[in-house]
Amino acid sequence: MRIIPAIDIIDGKCVRLTKGDYATKKIYNESPLDVALEFEANGIQNLHLVDLDGAKSKQIVNYDVLEQIASKTSLSIDFGGGIKSNNDIRIAFESGARQITGGSIAVSNPQTFEGWINLYGRNKIILGADCLDRKIATQGWLDDSEIDVLDFIKSYEQKGIRHVICTDISKDGMLEGPSFNLYKEILTKTSSKLIASGGIASLEDLKKLKAMGCEGAIVGKAIYEGYISLKELEKLC
């Protein structure tokens, strides 16, 4: 299982939110690059980079941070937040993203998102299936839909999607453990390569997700709050 630390960006700074609420913003570092370099120095190979300004905007915003990290580290970066047009995805890949994650666009403009899967290939495009009470949330989790998360994933599997990041918003930033039951259902009823996100608070959580069959796990607040050390993660990488 791939261990994937997360860097969320607001105003060019490394932040974390709780349950996706922008009012709970906590700044952990003024320099996302410094954080990324520290990850790399501890054996980390992958990074989940999220443009939270872009997520609630109409386009990608913090592509300069992506470009800086991509050019000064060897981290394999999946980038999400604000990718809502062909120009946005072009900028993201040109700025150094290895993969992009699309969530809102997959709901609001499925034709465009499906076109990206066909154009860039199923290994370059990740479906962002972020949900609250099983319903897909969009626009930086500010808007709800009536789309069931399992139906959402299954529909895009039929269109060629292979990689899925699923965040149970009720767990995100709470440090109370991930949504194991939801992930078990997804792993049982779909064939997607599932990347778990939200609520991870311990090495035991990671070991359980690995045993379940998750392809990857995104770790954010647990690192920044000292629940899991980078040295501990290095042993799992």
Cα distance between residue 121 and residue 124, in whole Å: 6
CA proximity to 209, closest of 175, 190, 181: 181
Residue-wise pLDDT tens digits, 184-195 = 999 999 999 999
Q: What are phi and psi of 45, to 5 degrees?
A: -115, -20
Instruction: Write down the pLDDT at residue 36.
Output: 98
Q: What is the mean pLDDT of residues 144-165?
A: 95
- Residue 130 bears catalytic tag: yes
Count of alpha carbons within 13 Å of 30, Cβ hemisphere only? 0
Whether residue 141 is predicted with pLDDT greater than 70 in this model: the reply is no
CATH of residue 222's domain is: 3.20.20.70
DSSP letter string over 158-204?
A: TTT--EEEEEETTTTTT-S---HHHHHHHHHH---EEEEES---SHH
DSSP state of 114: H
Between CA 172 and CA 213 the distance in angstroms is: 20
In one letter, which amino acid is 219?
Answer: V
Residue among 78, 130, 172, 205 flagged as catalytic = 130
Structure tokens at 79: 């980038």
Query: Which pLDDT does position 142 carry in this prediction?
Result: 63
pTM of the model: 0.95
Q: Rounded mean pLDDT of the chain?
A: 95
Split into its structural domains, the chain has a count of 1
Asked if residue 67 lies in contact with residue 115, where contact means CB atoms within 8 angstroms, the answer is: no
- Is 8 known to be catalytic? yes
Residues of the domain holding 52: 2-236
DSSP string, 25-57: EEEEES-HHHHHHHHHHTT--EEEEEEHHHHTS
Hey, what amino acid is at 195?
I
